[in-house]
Amino acid sequence: DAKTTQPPSMDCAEGRAANLPCNHSTISGNEYVYWYRQIHSQGPQYIIHGLKNNETNEMASLIITEDRKSSTLILPHATLRDTAVYYCIVRALNFGNEKLTFGTGTRLTIIP
Closest CA to 82 of 47, 48, 54, 49: 47
Which residue number, 12 or 73, has a Cβ lying nearer to another protein? 73
Residue 12 to residues 29, 52, 66: CA-CA distances in angstroms?
32, 27, 26
Cβ neighbors of 52 (< 8 A, separation 6 or more) are: 64, 68
Helix, strand, coil share of the chain (percent; to 5): 5, 45, 50
- Which positions lie near another protein, rule CB under 8 A? 34, 41-46, 49, 93-95, 97-104
Task: Tell the smallest beta-carbon distance from residue 80 to another protein (Å).
Answer: 20
Which residue number, 53 or 94, has a Cβ lying nearer to another protein? 94
Task: Tell the smallest beta-carbon distance from residue 84 to another protein (Å).
Answer: 13
Which residue number, 12 or 91, has a Cβ lying nearer to another protein? 91
Task: Tell the smallest beta-carbon distance from residue 58 to another protein (Å).
Answer: 11
Closest CA to 12 of 75, 57, 94, 93: 75
Task: Tell the smallest beta-carbon distance from residue 30 to another protein (Å).
Answer: 11
Which residue number, 12 or 47, has a Cβ lying nearer to another protein? 47
